[in-house]
């Protein structure tokens, strides 16, 4: 029996039942904190995943890789390789035995006859309608050399196609550089603009205090607020420009980029003077191709040897023209063939290839000349920007010192808010110039590496 009074309960239960209830209560007491901790952990994990998906970081190397991977032209690389594999497979079959099946049915105006009369013997003339079906297997002994050269030529031509495609894909880097560094510059300018707004806010706060003390006019406050609104407008313009750059960049890399995407500012690259462009590799491969073509011309002009086997069935038998019955036959042996007419144009063909090879030298010299000129110009630009940044640092130090002094003078009423604003604007312009020159220098260095192919 038990009694209920309010919320309290008095149980008259057996000891074993009371012990079971006590153990269940202890288990619930232990389980509840574990359950709460688990729910909290899952919630934090989901929040982390959400924040991580919204705030992504992107480096310029990742942009290069994604752009090359997602550019439609990149699909040609796999197609070139597959086409080359099929071509090599077909060329390899050139050393296989050549099998042919032939048939012939003829009617001729005259046949072989024996103009001799032999007493007691009558010779029946051969029929004028004759039939023959035969097959032939021909195994070349010299085409092995030709096939080997053809394989080399096919592989070389495929490599040329791949290098030319790599050269086209490499040009993507220049477009990625323009977009990536353009967006990065806007980020730096936005950060500097926020610092400028803070300086303006400091002036506004001081003017408000001065107005309360009756030592400043509302017109000064209005000027500062107008300047702050101009800074806000610049923030809107910068954000819109950054979004435009990111939208174009996202199309190249096939990734969604939002306002929370952070572009990693790359370090200064180590410049290399060597030129390692895909165009030069393609020229050297083309030169190798011409050398193989010369060897092929010589190979095709040498005598050909082959083993052959021919077997068939006909009337009359090709091996016994005097037989009028259907008979099978075969013939086998070694066949020799030398096409001397190839020598008519062999010398000129070799000379044509040699002249084409010389044209490659001209193309290579022209490419190297133009590339070196571009590298010289870019190197001069790098030197100029490096000097400008040194000067920018000196200007910023001076402008900051003047601004700090003006701040003290403003607090003591020596200068007006307009005077102080002029110094703030001068410092901001100096910092903006340095940001511009620093990003231009970084981009110039990457363009130098792009031009050199390193």
Position 32 pLDDT exceeds 60: no
When mean pLDDT is compared across 113-122, 159-168, 191-200, 413-422, the lowest value belongs to 113-122
Task: Using pLDDT thresholds of 50, 70 and 90, give the confidence band for residue 34.
Answer: very low
**Mean pLDDT of the region 328-337:** 91
Q: If residue 188 lies in a helix (H) or strand (E), which one and from where to where? A: helix 172-212
Position 40 pLDDT exceeds 50: yes
pLDDT at position 326: 86
- The per-residue pLDDT for range 429-453, each reduced to its tens digit, is 999 999 999 999 999 999 999 999 8
CATH of 60-96+142-303+338-452, one of 3.30.70.940, 1.20.5.50, 3.50.50.60, 1.20.1600.10: 1.20.1600.10
C-beta separation of 183 from 244 below 8 A: no
DSSP string over 235-278 = HHHHHHHHHHHHHHHHHHHT----TT-EEPPPPPP--------H
pLDDT at position 1: 39
Task: Using pLDDT thresholds of 50, 70 and 90, give the confidence band for residue 29.
Answer: low
DSSP string over 331-371 = EEEEEEE--GGGHHHHHHHHHHHHHHHHHHHHHHHHHHHHH
Parse the chain into domains and list their residue ranges. 3-52, 60-96+142-303+338-452
Q: How far apart are CA 294 and CA 94, in angstroms?
A: 20
pLDDT at position 319: 80
- The per-residue pLDDT for range 299-313, each reduced to its tens digit, is 888 899 999 999 999
- The per-residue pLDDT for range 262-281, each reduced to its tens digit, is 899 988 888 877 899 999 99
Position 55 pLDDT exceeds 60: no
Long-range (24+ apart) CB contacts under 8 A made by 381-390 are 381/444, 382/271, 382/441, 382/444, 382/445, 382/448, 385/437, 385/440, 385/441, 385/444, 386/441, 388/437, 389/434, 389/437, 389/438, 389/441
Q: Between these two residues, 89 and 324, which has the higher pLDDT value?
A: 89
């Amino acid at each position: 029996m038990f009694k209920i009074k309010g919320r309290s309960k008095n149980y008259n239960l057996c000891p074993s039942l009371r012990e079971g209830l006590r153990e269940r209560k202890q288990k619930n007491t232990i389980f509840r904190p574990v359950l709460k901790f688990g729910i909290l952990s899952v919630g934090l994990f989901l929040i982390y995943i959400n924040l991580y998906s919204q705030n992504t970081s992107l480096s310029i190397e990742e942009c290069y890789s994604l752009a090359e991977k997602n550019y439609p032209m990149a699909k040609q690389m796999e197609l070139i390789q597959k086409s080359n594999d099929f071509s090599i497979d077909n060329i390899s079959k050139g050393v296989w035995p050549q099998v042919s099946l032939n048939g012939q049915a003829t009617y001729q105006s005259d046949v072989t006859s024996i103009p001799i009369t032999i007493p007691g013997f009558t010779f029946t003339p051969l029929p004028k309608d004759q039939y023959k079906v035969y097959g032939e297997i021909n195994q070349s002994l010299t085409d092995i050399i030709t096939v080997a050269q053809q394989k080399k030529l096919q592989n070389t031509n495929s490599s040329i196609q791949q290098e030319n495609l790599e050269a086209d894909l490499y040009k993507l880097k220049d477009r990625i550089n323009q977009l990536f560094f353009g967006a990065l510059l806007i980020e730096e300018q936005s950060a500097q603009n926020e610092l400028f707004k803070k300086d303006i806010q400091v002036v506004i706060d001081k003017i408000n205090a001065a107005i309360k003390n009756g030592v400043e006019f509302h017109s000064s406050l209005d000027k500062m607020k107008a300047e702050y609104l101009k800074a806000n407008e610049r923030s809107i313009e910068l954000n819109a420009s950054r979004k435009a750059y990111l939208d174009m960049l996202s199309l190249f890399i096939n990734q969604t980029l939002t306002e929370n995407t952070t572009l990693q500012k790359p370090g200064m690259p180590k410049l290399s003077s060597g030129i390692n462009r895909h165009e030069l590799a393609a020229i050297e491969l083309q030169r190798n191709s011409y050398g193989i073509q010369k060897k092929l011309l010589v190979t095709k002009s040498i005598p050909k040897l082959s083993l052959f086997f021919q077997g068939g069935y006909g009337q009359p038998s090709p091996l016994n023209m005097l037989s009028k019955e259907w008979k099978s036959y075969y013939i086998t042996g070694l066949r020799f063939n030398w096409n001397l007419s190839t020598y008519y144009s062999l010398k000129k063909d070799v000379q044509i290839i040699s002249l084409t090879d010389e044209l490659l030298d001209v193309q290579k010299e022209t490419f190297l000349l133009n590339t070196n000129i571009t590298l010289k110009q870019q190197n001069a630009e790098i030197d100029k920007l490096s000097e400008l940044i040194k000067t920018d640092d000196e200007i910023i130090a001076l402008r900051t010192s003047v601004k700090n002094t003006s701040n003290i003078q403003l607090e003591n009423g020596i200068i007006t808010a307009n005077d102080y604003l002029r110094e703030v604007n001068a410092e901001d312009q100096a910092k903006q110039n340095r940001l511009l020159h620093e990003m231009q220098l970084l981009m110039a260095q990457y363009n130098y590496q792009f031009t050199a192919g390193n």
